[in-house]
Amino acid sequence: MSAPMKKSLVMKFGGTSVANLDRIRNVAQHVKREVEAGYDVAVVVSAMSGKTNELVAWCKDASALYDMREYDAVVASGEQVTSGLLAIALQNIGIKARSWQGWQIPILTDDAHGSARILELDGSRLMDSFSTRGEVAVIAGFQGIHEATGRLTTLGRGGSDTSAVAIAAGIGAERCDIYTDVDGVYTTDPRIVPKAKRLEKVAFEEMLEMASMGAKVLQVRSVELAMTHRVPTYVRSSFDDPADPKPGTLICGEEDIVEQQIITGIAYSKDEAQITLRRVADKPGIAAAIFVPLADANINVDMIIQVVSDDTTTTDITFTVPTADFERAKTILEGLRSTIGYATLQGANDVVKVSAIGVGMRSHAGVAARAFKSLADKGINIRAITTSEIKFSVLIDSAYTELAVRTLHSLYGLDQA
C-alpha cells in the first residue's frame, strides 16, 4: 500500500513579520510547528519591512523615467533575499527547506510590469519537491514571469498575498494562513474604536468589499482569488507565541457562517478626492465624454451623482477618484472643457469614504436609511452615496471620519458584537 498523501498548507509572512533576523527566526518557529503537525508547507515571504520602498526610491533616483521591466528586476530582489534567509534559518533548526523564486515554480503572468496579473500557476514542481525531498518550499512572493519574453514581473503592492492564495489553489492546500502584524480582521479600525472586535469568520464577499473600501489587511486581488478558488484563508498574527498561536479570522464561504450579523464591519478610505462639473449640458453622450477619457487614462471612478437643474437643460455631475489621480483627472477634464461644455470644475480632496459592509443587508430593509438619519443627527453632511447588495458608502468631510465610524459601529451593535 502506498502511504497516504500529506495535507499541504500555505503560510504567508508580510514585511513586518520578517523585518530582521530575529523576526525571521520567529517565523521559522511558526513554520516548524506546522511541519511537526504533519503538513507539507509552502511559505510565501515579502521583502523585509522598508526594503521595497528603498528599492523603489533607488529606481526613481537612477532615472525619472525608468524602464518598468528593469524596475521589476530591482524591486523583486527584496523577496529573494528574505526567502533565502528564511530557508537558512529553517535549516539551522533542523527543518529541510529550499528557496524558490516565482519563475522557478513557475508563476506565469501577463506583461503589465509593476502590476502584473497571474495567468497560470502549475503546482506540480512544488508537490514533487514535497513528495521526493520533504522540503519546506520558501517562496519569494510578489513576483512571477511573463513566459513570452522571459522577463521577471511583479504583482503590485501587497502582491505576496496574491502569490500565497494562488499557490494554495495550485497545490490544493487545505488552507492559506496570512500572517501580519494584527491578529485578525476587526469590525473596524481599533485605533478609532477601541471596542472594535476581532471577527471569527468573514464571508469572502464581505472581505472583498472591506479590502476595496479601505481595510488594509489583505490585497483585493488575493481575496478575489480566494473566493474564485474557494481557498479557506486565515488572517493571523506572526507576533503570537509560535507555541501557542491565536486562531485569527477565517475568510470563507457565506454558507460556512452560522450566525450572520446584518453589518459585519465599518471601513473607511482617506484615498478619495471629489470632482464636480457644474452646469453640464443634459444630453446623450455627455457622460461618455467625461468618463471614457478618464478610463483610458486608467483613472478609476467610484461614486457618481448627477443632479439635473431646475430648467432641465443642464446638470451637475459629481464623482470621486483616487487622491493620487486627482490632479491628473482635473488636467484631463480641463483639456476637454470645450467638448464637455461645463461651466466650472470644482475639486476637493479633504473627503473620506465611510462604508458599512454585511451580507445580512440582503435580507433586511432600511439598513442604510438608519445610517443616514444617525449621521444627520450628529451634524454630518453626506456629499455622495453609493449602495450595492451587501454594502453602502457615504462620502463625507474628512474632519468627521472618526465620529462617523464610531456612530455607525455603535448603530449596528458592533460595540457589543
**If you average pLDDT over every residue of the chain, what do you get?**
92
92, 160, 163, 214, 266 from 13: Cα distances, Å: 19, 8, 11, 21, 26
Question: Is 80 exceeded by the pLDDT of residue 3?
Answer: no
Question: Which has the closest alpha carbon to 30: 248, 196, 224?
Answer: 248
Residue 108 has pLDDT above 50, yes or no: yes
Q: Phi and psi dihedrals of 246, rounded to 5?
A: -80, 160
Query: What per-residue confidence (pLDDT) applies to 218?
Result: 84
Phi/psi at 157 (5° precision)? -55, 135
Q: Read off the pLDDT of each residue in 107-123 and give the average, rounded to a whole number.
A: 94
More confident residue, 352 or 302: 352
pLDDT 10s digits, 58-74: 999 999 889 999 999 99
What pLDDT does residue 308 have? 74
CB atoms within 10 A of CB 100: 24
Query: Which of 137-146, 185-194, 303-312, 404-413 comes out lowest in average pLDDT?
Result: 303-312
**Tell me, what's the pLDDT at 417?**
53
Is 266's pLDDT higher than 80? yes
- 5 has pLDDT over 70: no
Question: Hey, which bits of 172-326 come out as E strands?
Answer: 175-180, 201-203, 233-237, 249-252, 265-281, 304-308, 314-321
Contact yes or no for 162/225 (Cβ under 8 A): yes
Report the percentage of the chain scoring pLDDT > 90. Answer: 76
Q: Which residue has the cell 458608502?
A: 393
**pLDDT of residue 395 exceeding 90:** yes
Contact 173, 138 (CB under 8 A): no
User: Which domains, and CATH codes, for the chain?
Assistant: 8-256 (3.40.1160.10), 266-416 (3.30.2130.10)
CB 137 within 8 A of CB 105: no
3-state SS track over 350-411:
EEEEEEEECHHHHHCCCHHHHHHHHHHHCCCCCCEEEEECCEEEEEEEHHHHHHHHHHHHHH
Q: For the segment 120-147, what is each residue's pLDDT rounded down to a tens digit? A: 999 999 999 999 999 999 999 999 999 9
Residue type, 264: T
pLDDT at residue 320 greater than cutoff 60: yes
Instruction: Tell me the per-residue pLDDT of 14-47, one tens digit each, with 9 for 90 and over.
Output: 999 999 999 999 999 999 999 999 999 999 999 9
Residue 269 pairs in a beta bridge with 353
Residue 240 near residue 183, CB atoms below 8 Å: yes
pTM here is: 0.85
Helices 77-92 + 68-75 axis angle, to 10: 20
What cell numbers appear for 17 in the block? 513579520
pLDDT tens for residues 224-239?
999 999 999 999 999 9
- pLDDT of residue 1 exceeding 50: no
